[in-house]
Amino acid sequence: MDKAALTVGVLTPHAATGPEVEIPVMASATLEVKVARIPRHGDSTTTIPKPASTAAYLRAVATPAALRPAVESLRDASVDAIAYASTTSGYAIGPAAEADLTEHLRQLAGVPVVTSGLAATQALKTFGIRRITLVHPPWFEEEMAKLGARYFQDQDIEVVTVTATSLPQHPDQVRPEQVIAFVSEQVDVSTEAVFIAGNGFRAAAAIEELERRTGRLILEANQVLLWSILAATGTKLQIEGNGTLFRTGLANA
């Protein structure tokens, strides 16, 4: 077996699969993904309080102390970078706290650390985008829709938020053609770009067709993670398809 061009550690508080499926497919290269899921109630070294809401739980786990055991396991696995794959965690704590957390984790792991929200923001800024349609999967709660809008608004990006309630509730049942049909109907003349949020919302296979139909930049949570990982590690991989982001944005990341 060929040595992996890159070994990526995926750190996540979610049970649904996402980046570990989509990142290797998008990379079309020998790329290894190792996953560390954060225990719902902590482990022998940490205690995670019972959440009053999804956002409360995400805030409780998005701390260096709560994440330390999982990060150390990835560090011991000799990963080249870590992706904190939770768009909603960024929503829950906000972009400033997310940037601080990323730096703490980088110091702990000794490798670059990227997050979905910050990667999406950097991609939008790279392309000079000021107004987006933010698409959430049907399993996102109303609280997350509000937090998501605020997350980008706090960074001077105008947001129209839509939740894909017509799509299946289970991530494994969502198909690219369903995503294409739904998102295409949400793009109006004021939309400069679309961000399909949620790392368990596996929509990468819809990106190319959506860009063709809408004429807009289409970003997706796992796509921007890969883009950010490549930029952070200086890794040169030829990414075929998967949107304008990989064709013109990497050099400016």
DSSP letter string over 133-149? EEEE-TTS-HHHHHHHH
Task: Give the full edge-to-edge strand order of the sheet including 31-37.
Answer: 31-37, 6-12, 81-84, 113-115
pLDDT at 101: 97
| pLDDT, mean of residues 40-48 | 52
Classified as helix, coil or strand, 159 is: strand
pLDDT at 20: 92
Domain covering 6-116+222-238: architecture: 3-Layer(aba) Sandwich (3.40)
Radius of gyration of the chain from its Cα atoms, rounded to whole angstroms: 17
Q: Is the pLDDT of residue 51 over 80?
A: no
Q: Which two tokens stand for residue 72?
A: 């150390």
Encoded tokens for 253: 């990341």
**CATH number of the 120-221 domain:** 3.40.50.1860
Residue intervals of the chain classified under CATH 3.40.50.12500 are 6-116+222-238
Distance (Å, whole) CA 4 – CA 122: 27
Instruction: Check residue 251 and report its DSSP letter.
Output: G
Q: 126-185: per-residue pLDDT in tens?
A: 999 999 999 999 999 899 999 999 999 999 999 999 999 999 999 999 999 999 999 999
End-to-end CA distance of the chain: 31
Residue 206 pLDDT: 96
pLDDT of residue 249: 57
Name the band, by pLDDT with cuts 50, 70 and 90, for residue 94: very high
Confidence of residue 253 (pLDDT cuts 50, 70, 90): very low
Separation between Cα atoms, residue 82 and residue 9, nearest integer Å: 4
0.85 exceeded by the pTM? yes
Give the pLDDT band of residue 251 (cuts 50, 70, 90): very low
* Selected residue with higher pLDDT from 31 and 252: 31
Confidence of residue 1 (pLDDT cuts 50, 70, 90): very low
Least confident of 47-51, 187-191, 213-217: 47-51
The pLDDT score that the predictor gives to residue 40 is 62
pLDDT of residue 252: 40
Start-end ranges of CATH 3.40.50.1860 in the chain? 120-221
Mean pLDDT of all residues in 213-227: 97
**Residues 50, 100: Cα–Cα separation, whole Å:** 24
> What does the mean pLDDT of the chain come to?
90
